């Protein structure tokens, strides 16, 4: 996804919940064993980290900054040497082996291919307000987000395949994200604290100080720094509308006016808005997963849509949120 929304766009104003939509079918196909290096490759590490709850954001098969952050979080949580590298000790702790399955097969359904898709999403927020929904723009974008992957990785894994109904394709072997399924709070996690560091990592910490989930984030800039301090979750909104107020954007155009942008995975705050006790700030999804961890925001904390949805299962009203 998608180079349409300006780098600064994300965050603002409380959102409203759209009517729930019925869940789309998902599949789990035949897993493909990993071949080669006994201590894993970048794709294998990204997949195994994702399964353990240590997200590298968009899975792209590359050993980038977000993968190093995920490795560091996993190593610290498991009392391993914090090497931030693909070492054999970490590979073993992740459960990696010569037969580790990093990919699986998925058959594209008629429902997948039916969309509906949005032909064009304007780059300017006020113009987006004219659209009835901010859905996916293509089938490959939808499938990539479902399997936490970059479209480029899907193309590399399927060089001779057409993305159409009935096609069986190779995808990362992770728990699929479904934008039609509202996250359900998981009470079994108990009392948790969300910690966000300026270094670009969000952690969900359990009562026993164990890291339950970690993910890369984009947060703050010199214009709108992350508001350091101890806050609390006020509410969680699924498929929110986005209320654009140009007065709150330092880079807004002088001609911009207030606008309400309809829900969808390409909404400026993605599929989830987690409102916190700082006015106009929250934790949320994004229409641009490839920029998570690499861009700046207006101060809010944004994650990939699948990571934001997973975060929403841990938190509820009054969950502590620490920006440090």
Q: Is residue 67 part of a domain?
A: no
Q: Is residue 91 part of a domain?
A: no
Q: Is residue 112 part of a domain?
A: no
Give, as one character, the DSSP assignment of residue 247: G
Confirm if 47 and 172 have CB atoms less than 8 A apart.
Answer: yes
Residue 2 contacts by C-beta under 8 Å, 6 or more apart in sequence? 121, 137, 141, 266, 287, 288
Task: Give the number of other Cβ atoms within 10 Å of residue 111's Cβ.
Answer: 11
Q: Of 304, 319, 136, nearest to 218 (Cα)? A: 304
Measured CA to CA, the distance from residue 192 to residue 211 in angstroms comes to 9
DSSP for 261-307 reads E--STTSTTTTEEEEESSTT-EEE--S-GGGTTTS--SS-EE--HHH
Instruction: For residue 199, give the CATH number of its domain.
Output: 2.40.440.10
Its domain, for residue 280, covers 187-323
Q: Of 37, 175, 29, 56, nearest to 96 (Cα)? A: 37
The model's pTM: 0.86
pLDDT for 13 equals: 33
Q: Give me the sign of the Cα torsion angle 112, 114, 116, 120.
A: positive
pLDDT for 221 equals: 58
Q: Is residue 217 part of a domain?
A: yes
pLDDT for 251 equals: 62
pLDDT for 298 equals: 54
Q: Is residue 279 part of a domain?
A: yes
Q: Of 55, 23, 3, nearest to 238 (Cα)? A: 23
pLDDT for 21 equals: 33
pLDDT for 296 equals: 62
User: How many structural domains does the chain have?
Assistant: 1
Q: Is residue 171 part of a domain?
A: no
pLDDT for 14 equals: 34
Q: Is residue 244 part of a domain?
A: yes
pLDDT for 262 equals: 97
Give, as one character, the DSSP assignment of residue 240: B
pLDDT for 305 equals: 98
pLDDT for 5 equals: 40
pLDDT tens sequence for the chain (324 residues): 454 444 333 333 333 333 333 333 344 445 554 544 468 899 999 999 999 999 999 999 999 999 999 999 999 999 999 999 999 999 999 999 877 789 999 999 999 999 999 999 998 888 999 999 999 999 999 999 999 999 999 999 999 999 999 999 999 999 999 999 999 999 888 999 999 998 899 999 999 999 999 999 998 656 667 889 999 999 999 999 999 777 766 566 777 778 899 999 999 999 999 999 998 899 999 999 999 988 665 558 999 999 999 999 999 999 999 999
> What is each CA distance from 187 to 52, 159, 215, 256, in whole angstroms?
19, 42, 20, 43
pLDDT for 10 equals: 38
Tell me if the bond preceding 116 is cis, omega within 30° of 0: yes
pLDDT for 259 equals: 84
Q: Is residue 297 part of a domain?
A: yes
pLDDT for 16 equals: 33
């Amino acid at each position: 996804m998608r180079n349409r929304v300006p780098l600064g766009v994300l965050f603002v104003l409380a959102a409203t919940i759209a009517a729930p939509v019925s869940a789309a079918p998902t599949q789990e196909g035949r897993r493909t064993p990993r071949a080669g290096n006994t201590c894993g490759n970048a794709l294998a590490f990204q997949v195994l980290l994702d399964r353990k709850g240590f997200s590298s954001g968009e899975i792209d098969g590359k050993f980038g900054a977000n993968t190093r952050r995920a490795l560091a979080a996993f190593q610290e949580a498991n009392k391993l040497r914090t090497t931030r590298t693909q070492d054999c000790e970490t590979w073993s702790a992740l459960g990696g082996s010569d037969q580790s399955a990093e990919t699986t097969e998925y058959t594209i359904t008629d429902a997948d291919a039916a969309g509906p898709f949005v032909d064009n999403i304007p780059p300017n927020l006020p113009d987006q307000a004219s659209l009835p929904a901010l859905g996916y723009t293509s089938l490959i974008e939808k499938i990539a987000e479902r399997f936490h992957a970059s479209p480029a990785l899907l193309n590399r894994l399927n060089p001779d395949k057409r993305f159409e109904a009935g096609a069986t394709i190779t995808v990362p072997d992770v728990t699929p994200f479904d934008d039609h399924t509202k996250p359900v709070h998981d009470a079994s996690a108990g009392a948790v604290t969300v910690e966000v560091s300026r270094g670009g990592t969000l952690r969900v910490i359990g009562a026993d100080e164990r890291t339950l989930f970690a993910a890369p984030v984009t947060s703050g800039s010199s214009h709108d720094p992350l508001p350091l301090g101890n806050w609390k979750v006020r509410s969680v909104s699924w498929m929110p509308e986005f209320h654009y107020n140009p007065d709150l954007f330092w880079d807004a155009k002088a001609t911009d006016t207030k606008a309400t942008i309809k829900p969808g995975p390409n909404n400026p705050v993605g599929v989830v808005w987690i409102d916190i006790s700082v006015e106009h700030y929250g934790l949320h999804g994004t229409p641009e997963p490839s920029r998570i961890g690499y861009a700046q925001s207006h101060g809010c904390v944004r994650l990939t849509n699948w990571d934001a949805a997973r975060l929403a299962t841990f938190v509820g009203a009054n969950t502590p949120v620490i920006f440090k």
